[in-house]
């Protein structure tokens, strides 16, 4: 969900430039009493909404990564240091690609290799004693 909020924040932030442009051009080319303040107000509202969405997206992202870290630690403990990618994806409720990326990030600074079991499942082994995870 944090990705959707981030994308909406980008969309609203980009669209907030349109009323800002109209307000700036309106200062030079119009004599209207109300059109300039209204376009600035619209700009401020859009910019505020974009900031709120970005902050909310960041908070959701932090919560999601914390949840995945907890699930990762639990699954690592249960399986004796081996984390099957498909099982992690299923338990975490994320796509297989996202699970694979998460596990790759977890193992990026450690010596680790992938293993494939007899069922053809991709398994990422981790050092069980490593408390860094």
* pLDDT values of the chain reduced to their tens digit, one per residue, 133 residues: 677 887 888 888 888 878 777 767 666 666 666 666 777 788 888 888 888 888 888 998 899 889 998 998 888 888 777 788 888 888 888 888 888 888 888 776 555 556 666 666 666 666 544 444 4
pLDDT tens for 28-44 read 666 666 666 777 788 88
Place of tokens 């999601």: 64
Q: Which two structure tokens, joined as six digits, stand for 43?
A: 């700009």
pLDDT (0 to 100) of residue 34:
61
117 by DSSP, 3-state: which? coil
- CA 121/CA 133 separation, integer angstroms: 22
128 by DSSP, 3-state: which? coil
CA separation (Å) from 51 to 7, 16, 39, 65? 12, 11, 18, 21
Could you tell me what percentage of the chain is helix, strand and coil, using 3-state DSSP and rounding each to the nearest 5? 70, 5, 25
pLDDT (0 to 100) of residue 12:
83
Place of tokens 């909406």: 8
Whole-structure pTM value: 0.63
pLDDT (0 to 100) of residue 29:
64
Contact 86, 117 (CB under 8 A): no
């Amino acid at each position: 969900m944090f990705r959707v909020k981030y994308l909406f924040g980008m969309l609203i932030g980009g669209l907030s430039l349109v009323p800002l442009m109209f307000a700036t051009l309106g200062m030079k080319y119009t004599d209207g009493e109300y059109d300039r303040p209204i376009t600035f107000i619209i700009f401020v509202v859009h910019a505020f909404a974009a900031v709120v969405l970005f902050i909310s997206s960041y908070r959701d992202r932090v919560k999601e990564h914390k949840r995945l870290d907890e699930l990762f630690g639990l699954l690592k403990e249960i399986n004796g240091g081996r984390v099957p990618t498909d099982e992690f994806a299923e338990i975490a409720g994320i796509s297989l690609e996202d699970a694979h990326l998460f596990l790759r990030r977890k193992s990026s600074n450690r010596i680790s290799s992938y293993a494939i079991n007899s069922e053809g499942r991709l398994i990422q082994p981790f050092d069980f004693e490593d408390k860094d995870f």
